[in-house]
Structure 1
Amino acid sequence: MNTPLKTPLKNRIGGVFIPVRDLEKAKKWYSKILGLEGGEIYFGHLYNAPMDGTAGLILDTMPKWRDENGNISTYQVPSIQFVTDDIQASYQFLKENNVELLSEIEDDFYFVFKDLDGNVLMLCRDVS
């Protein structure tokens, strides 16, 4: 049996950051797509979205991470997975809301789409 390592770090994800260009536009888009209400804006560049689960969703204009032209990289692979109980209804909902869909529903389990800033995101059927 392995003995747990002694560490001051917690074994938990506290938040997931998504780079965005326009905080207000991103906040409205994510609120509509995920059904978010409330949340707080901090320091003029962070929106802490109220989420269920183990990690919070944080939209960030990331002023410290921009290049000399003011540009910031977006996620070009699906590094964030949202979940749904109804993959078909979710796909149709995003399609009806003009969200850019990058795949069809694969294996009756997931599909990939982009947010307003071009970040690639994934939606999977919840199996918990």
Structure 2
Amino acid sequence: MKTTKSPIHNSVNTMFVPVSDLQTSAKWYSDLLGQEFNPSEVEEPVYNMKIDHYTGVLLDSGPPDEKQKVTPSAHPLFNFHTDDIDASYQYIKELEYSITSNITRFEDLSFFTIKDPDGNIIMICTG
């Protein structure tokens, strides 16, 4: 089988999260990640989250001057990593965010899921 070098990088660059209210979602995700939130930095139709590593998170409210209707997936879109699943679970409870599953623990992995303001399911995960 002939292999060709692809011009496409073997890495994920940015995840797009569909949202209906950019201000609300930008604040929600900022609070989730313990980031400072400045509403004046949020400009329709997208907000690029400040992420520490290569893969970014872009909140996308759709075409300007049109409220996007979001149909959330029944499955997690992606996960945010944590080294302490119990502290993360407690933090989410303190934020009063919607927790959609209790902590599931395996030998080398633990996780739980939450919903963002549009019902998108996000996993918080170790391992």
- TM-score per shorter chain, which class? 0.7 to 0.9
1:37–1:50: 8 Å Cα contact kept in structure 2?
Answer: no
2:46–2:60: 8 Å Cα contact kept in structure 1?
Answer: yes
Which residue is equivalent to 2:98? 100
Q: Which amino acid aligns with 1:105?
A: I
Q: Which amino acid aligns with 1:119?
A: N
Matched residue of 1:74: which SS? coil
Identity of matched residues, %: 37
If the length of structure 1 is used for normalisation, what is the TM-score?
0.82
After TM superposition, give the deviation of residue 38 of structure 1 in Å. 7.0
Q: How many residue pairs are counted as aligned between the two chains?
A: 121
After TM superposition, give the deviation of residue 96 of structure 1 in Å. 1.2
Matches of 1:52 and 1:3, distance apart in 2: 38
Structure 1 residue 116 and structure 2 residue 117: aligned? Answer: yes
Structure 1 stretches of 5 or more lacking a match? none
**What RMSD over aligned residues (CA atoms) do the two structures have, in Å?**
2.5
Stretches of 4+ aligned residues off by more than 6 angstroms:
none
Matches of 1:70 and 1:113, distance apart in 2: 21
Which residue is equivalent to 2:45? 45
Q: Which amino acid aligns with 1:45?
A: P
Q: Which amino acid aligns with 1:58?
A: L
Matched residue of 1:112: which SS? strand
Q: Which amino acid aligns with 2:76?
A: P
Structure 2 stretches of 5 or more lacking a match? none
Q: Which amino acid aligns with 2:46?
A: L
